[in-house]
Amino acid sequence: MIYLDHNATSPVRPEAKAAVLRALEVGGNPSSVHAAGRAARSLIETARGQVASLVGVVPGSVTFTSGGTESNALAIESAVAAGHDRIILGATEHGAVSENARAAGVPVAVWPVDANGVADLDWLAAELARGGRPLVCLMLANNETGVIQPVAEASALVREAGGWLHVDAVQAAGKIAIDFTALGADTLALAAHKIGGPFGSGALVAGTRATLVRRLHGGGQERGRRAGAENLSGIAGFGAAAVAAARDLPVIASQAVWRDSLQARVEEAGAVILGKAAARLPQTLGFAAQGFDAQMQVMGMDLAGIAVSAGPACSSGKMKPSDVVAAMGRADLAPFAVRISGGWNTTEHDWSRAGDAWLELYARHTSRRKEVA
């Protein structure tokens, strides 16, 4: 199997697996004061520092969670609890952000994007001028198209308006360098499994302007921000993956050439490249071929031994037309959009073989359509 679905989850890195196994051997509760407990606590604090380094913050800024969804929910609920009375929601946000925003009990305005999926800053400026204390949600990079959003530019507008900026960086981490301070975010969400760490571990990074509220009550873990015994092995694996992801950023960047080669091949065959004119993650290619059902593409590629996806992989295996593509003004292409995404163990051959397989599938599809016609 050639695995080209790293944006859904990246296979566990050897460093992360080793860290998980070492943590499982410790055996102590991180809240206990005996030697085993102190050893467990040391692993968590080491990982906290490793995750903090990935985004350029001090360790105390990092609160460990169960994953990106909980991190996004914690940020949104914290902002609303702090008195932010409305939400400005990017039109292409992941469901982990959009669903929690709509459940927050305050008005939500949807922030449009242009034809390349880039958030409209002029619209944002006009919306912020309406007043209030807005929470603004803008992802750093889109999971389906790889489009990188103008977060730093948006931050300047949000801060001037007295708002709170939350950034879902789950998809961007480990693919591009992230400087939390330069972005100007108040909170930022991360997930271990997107960078080659284990499932079930994530983090919320909070700046000095953000005060977090507890969603889970009980003990005083995570400096009182999140109750419950920490996922020791998952956190240890997260930390190790963060170190490896930072180290491998040049490896990921080099895939842009391979991605662009495949892009040219499918475009020549008639596919539309999603977000083509925007800055994108170097290892992500989203495209659509009119009339070629996304589910059939995914199934056909799977039969050819290549794992790709259509839309976000968070609906229990269900596929539906892409809301992201529709938000970009191409609802006509939404049922036909697929994504190919590389990662830490992807090779040039993987990208090339994916192109061969897709072009073979598309040729068969077009031949059948001609026969029917």
pLDDT tens sequence across 183-238: 999 999 999 999 999 999 999 999 999 999 987 788 778 887 887 889 999 999 99
Judge contact between 77 and 287, C-beta under 8 A: no
pLDDT at 321 over 90: no
Of 37-41, 140-144, 200-204, 252-256, give the lowest mean pLDDT range: 37-41
| CATH code assigned to 2-10+250-372 | 3.90.1150.10
The pTM is what? 0.95
Using DSSP bridges, classify how beta strands 202-206 and 272-273 pair: parallel, antiparallel or unpaired: unpaired
Confidence label for 373 from pLDDT (cuts 50, 70 and 90) = low
**Joined tokens for residue 180:** 């939390």
DSSP string, 180-245: HHHHT-SEEEEEGGGTT--TT-EEEEE-TT-----SS-SS-TGGGTS-S---HHHHHHHHHHHHHH
pLDDT per residue as tens digits for the range 155-182: 999 999 999 999 999 999 999 999 999 9
Backbone angles phi and psi of 39, in degrees to 5: -65, -40
- Whether the CB-CB separation of 6 and 343 falls below 8 Å is answered with yes
Confidence of residue 370 (pLDDT cuts 50, 70, 90): confident
Active-site positions? 314
The whole-number pLDDT of residue 319 equals 64
Asked whether the predicted pLDDT for residue 350 surpasses 80, the reply is yes
Considering the segment(s) 14-247 as one domain, its CATH architecture is: 3-Layer(aba) Sandwich (3.40)
Specify whether the CB–CB gap between 306 and 294 falls below 8 A.
no
Over residues 67-120, the pLDDT tens digits come to 999 999 999 999 999 999 999 999 999 999 999 999 999 999 999 999 999 999
| Predicted pLDDT at 220 | 79
Asked if residue 313 has pLDDT above 60, the reply is no
Amino acid at 18: A
User: Between vectors from CA 110 to CA 332 and to CA 129, what angle results, nearest 5°?
Assistant: 140
| pLDDT tens-digit readout, 15-61 | 999 999 999 999 889 989 999 999 999 999 999 999 999 999 999 99
- Where are the domains positioned within the chain? 2-10+250-372, 14-247
Would you call 55 exposed, middle or buried from its count of C-beta atoms within 10 A (0-12, 13-18, 19+)? buried
